[in-house]
Structure 1
């Protein structure tokens, strides 16, 4: 919990108890001892302080130390002792200051029952707080896991791919080709994005698509322009997306789409409409490769499926199919 949230929590508790303890002095008058019903203002406030003591002792000491770890043999007698102590103090307050009230049976019922009620409320409060803490820890663990997965994705960019790109760059340098400089710039932008720009939680969709285009451009340098048909629309710069969410599908397509004969074997399409991203990737699969082997060898494929489920629950539709030796990925993603 952040310091800011802690301060808000403390202020909230102070306000609630201040209103409860001072209630008689807001609604009553000095002429009738600030009574609320039969209860004089002093008694109401004194009992309220006892209730506050019960609440915090149980919620922040007894329940965490004994109830939450099922040490019933200690928790039950300590809880009885706490309630018993409050009953004794309430009786002493009434006997000392207002002995005439003790002759009415209803006074006992309305004096001592609230202690039990506050005790039960403190248990419920502790359970709610524990649940909130548990869910926050879960989210922190998930965030740490996702960051680890993102680092894993960056490490999965094939060294063989980079080696082949560098080989092509050497070839361009020997030919003194005009394409060398733009190729180097493309590779530089690709590596910068992969290493530095994906450190934050989310990135601009414009950057993600630019990264995608750079990757496709570098692959075309390896295999030629005829390998792939790509249609990636220009997107608005206000959309955000989790980094490196799309690249594993494309890398997977290149890995397997280049393993068979000639001709166009990969198609990549990306568009945004009505605040939704539509992403479509198709690639051929070698005839001898079975589905199980394909799925197991997919670069980051299961990783990105897990990330989608964690990061975009109920905000994405992912359909992965294989038909007639064509592997087809269709992703719809809500961007807002």
Structure 2
């Protein structure tokens, strides 16, 4: 999320660009701003842009959330009308303000007359009489109808642009909340699924009265601590996720002993990368679920590599099971992971699954932050 200072900077620069835009395309460019003190029309035009910018933020941050979204459309329309009325009265007041000395002096030059002499002893007959102040204002100010239409156009632009941006922001916020809800639901499914499988592993050790049962309980405690504390967040350090996977594989190795040929390795360094928690474990669980049978020769290969911001996971297991329990056959883990990958890494992953008669392979390439 962008910092408040960055957001404030963007708003300030955007506001300055909006105020400067009419003068960038003006014949005299930004130098036309110098006439604000000598040309009442320029001052009114600049004030209209300034007021509309203020109304944009009023509408975006207050009127739309307080009146439009709660469907108080009548009050919203009345507020919009009142705001336009106030702005137009302010513009009319500025436009009718008496011309000060500097503005009056500028009118001589704009009408082709030299400015009044600064020397008090100069004869008033040396120069032709200047036009009256009323004539100068009238000659340099468009008709009231043009001023009203110009202000109304800017006002409507402010209304529709702020509405469009606010509605779009709300839609994106709604989509984000929906995504978080869906991810939380998927994660809630994975956690009990993982616990169920791990408890089954420890149960097998206890039945066999294995001396490794205590070590398995300690590793399970470490795994559950990770699931409860860190995996509840949106992103975790890759180093912690890889440690979690290593503990899980070690737990399975304790349970299986020499009944399976296990080739497991991690290459590369995390280097501060982050990853969505529990995004890889389902593929690894699947290898043990379908690739282990004490009555047959089992082979499982698990390789993880991290290189140049790309994590690669490859798994291979020989299919040795003939009968599958209902929970295992449902494939809930892999389907959830596939959905999470699509939600969290829509354009940053490539998943290939090979399902043959006697083997099952997974090849996942994931670009990580």
Q: Distance in 2 between matches of 1:140 and 1:81?
A: 35
Residues 202 and 213 in structure 2, CA contact (< 8 A), matched pair in contact too: no
Cα offset, 1:262, TM superposition: 0.6
Answering whether residue 192 of structure 2 is matched by residue 155 of structure 1, we say: yes
- Measured against aligned partners, the alpha-carbon deviations of 1:258-280 in whole angstroms (never above 9, x if no partner) come to 36961124332222233321111
Q: Distance in 1 between matches of 2:148 and 2:203?
A: 82
Return 5+ residue gaps in structure 1 as ranges. none
Q: Distance in 1 between matches of 2:224 and 2:81?
A: 66
- Measured against aligned partners, the alpha-carbon deviations of 1:280-316 in whole angstroms (never above 9, x if no partner) come to 1233265688xxx999611421111111112222111
Q: Distance in 2 between matches of 1:14 and 1:276?
A: 37
Provide the residue aligned with 1:333 in structure 2.
366
- Measured against aligned partners, the alpha-carbon deviations of 1:51-76 in whole angstroms (never above 9, x if no partner) come to 35654565567666787799989978
Provide the residue aligned with 1:225 in structure 2.
258
Mark the CA change 1:11 to 1:327 in structure 2 (over 3 Å): closer, same or farther: closer
Q: Distance in 2 between matches of 1:76 and 1:188?
A: 60
Cα offset, 1:322, TM superposition: 1.5
Provide the residue aligned with 1:274 in structure 2.
308
Q: Distance in 1 between matches of 2:68 and 2:217?
A: 64
Cα offset, 1:95, TM superposition: 5.6
SS in 2 for 1:233: strand
Cα offset, 1:195, TM superposition: 2.8
Provide the residue aligned with 1:8 in structure 2.
8
- Measured against aligned partners, the alpha-carbon deviations of 1:107-156 in whole angstroms (never above 9, x if no partner) come to 44652343133223311133123312331342244234323432331111
Provide the residue aligned with 2:152 in structure 1.
116
Q: Which moved more, 1:139-148 or 1:4-13?
A: 4-13
TM-score when scaled to structure 1? Answer: 0.72
Cα offset, 1:186, TM superposition: 2.9
Cα offset, 1:227, TM superposition: 2.3
- Measured against aligned partners, the alpha-carbon deviations of 1:43-96 in whole angstroms (never above 9, x if no partner) come to 456545653565456556766678779998997898677657755665566467
What do you get for the CA RMSD once the two structures are aligned? 4.4
Answering whether residue 245 of structure 2 is matched by residue 212 of structure 1, we say: yes
Q: Distance in 2 between matches of 1:14 and 1:309?
A: 35
Answering whether residue 230 of structure 2 is matched by residue 197 of structure 1, we say: yes
Q: Distance in 1 between matches of 2:189 and 2:323?
A: 29
Provide the residue aligned with 1:300 in structure 2.
333
TM-score when scaled to structure 2? Answer: 0.67
For the pair shown, the structure with the greater C-alpha radius of gyration is: 2
Provide the residue aligned with 1:39 in structure 2.
41
Provide the residue aligned with 1:257 in structure 2.
291
Provide the residue aligned with 1:51 in structure 2.
52
Return 5+ residue gaps in structure 2 as ranges. 24-30, 100-133
Provide the residue aligned with 2:102 in structure 1.
none
Provide the residue aligned with 1:312 in structure 2.
345
